Amino acid sequence: MALTNDHAGPRKPLTLAIDIGGSHLKAAVLNASGKMSADPVRVKTPKLATPDAVVAALISLSQRLGQFARVSIGFPGVVRADFVMTAPNLGTKEWHGFRLGAVIAQELRNPVRMLNDASIQGLGVIAGEVLECVLTLGTEMGFALFRDGTSHRIWNSASILFATIRPITNTWARRRLRPSASSAGTSAFTRLSVSSKPL
């Protein structure tokens, strides 16, 4: 097991953080405080981004980094536990039902946790209070919604992206724009974070 000890106290495991994108696959090893222990690595996402091709590229990336004891994966689509449900940038037909988390865990022999990539980014910026919305701007726009620090499961996030905001004395004013039935009760959020992924 790969461990780090930035401060006095018990040694803590290092985490391999993987970001799967429509244009690039990126990876870095993080210490217990979330700082990179070495420079990140990346490659272009395979043109034919089948599960086998992406897995092979991720294994190759991981071999360019140091030791780690666990793996975190941000995936650009709807995921449930180990399973990919949708993959708009990669090809839902090929990816639907693929157990990416389990396959990576078997290949790297370390425990894996996988979430939607916007949810992963959101966990790094939310305050953990009330209703919070995170928008991510990459190859496409991603979305995550949190209530009191817990991610909400949303199947059709596009239907609730109709919101405008403006800062007023450290709070957000918000109003709904043509919300659909699936967005009822979720469009009026208290905090909004917008993040653009580096290319």
- What is the pLDDT at residue 189? 55
For residue range 170-190, list pLDDT tens digits in order.
Answer: 333 343 333 333 333 444 555
Q: Can you tell me the distance from the alpha carbon of 115 to that of 78, in angstroms, rounded to the nearest whole number?
A: 8
Distances (CA, A) of 149 to 39, 75, 79, 127, 132: 29, 20, 18, 7, 8
φ, ψ for residue 9, nearest 5 deg: 130, -175
* Three-state secondary-structure class, residue 165: strand
For residue range 123-135, list pLDDT tens digits in order.
Answer: 888 888 888 888 8
Q: Which residues pair with 196 in a beta bridge?
A: 137
Rounded to the nearest integer, the mean pLDDT of the chain is: 78
Q: Which residue has better confidence, 147 or 160? A: 147
- Residue 15: name the closest of 24, 6, 32, 26 by CA: 32
The domains of the chain are located at 3-119, 126-196
Whether pLDDT at 106 is above 90:
yes
For residue range 129-157, list pLDDT tens digits in order.
Answer: 888 888 877 777 777 888 888 887 654 44
Q: Which residue has better confidence, 3 or 156? A: 3
Say if domain 3-119 classifies as CATH 3.30.420.60.
no
Distances (CA, A) of 159 to 47, 162, 191: 29, 7, 18
- What is the pLDDT at residue 164? 35
Question: Exposed e or buried b for every residue in 48-62, given b needs 16+ CB within 10 A?
Answer: ebebeebeebbeebb
Neighbours of 42 (CB within 10 A): 17
Name the DSSP letter for residue 45: P
Q: What token pair was written down for 172?
A: 């957000």
C-alpha triplet 27, 75, 18: angle, nearest 5°: 15
Please tell me the pTM assigned to this model: 0.73
Question: Predicted confidence band at 89 (pLDDT cuts at 50, 70, 90)?
Answer: confident
Q: Report the percent of the chain where pLDDT is more than 90.
A: 44
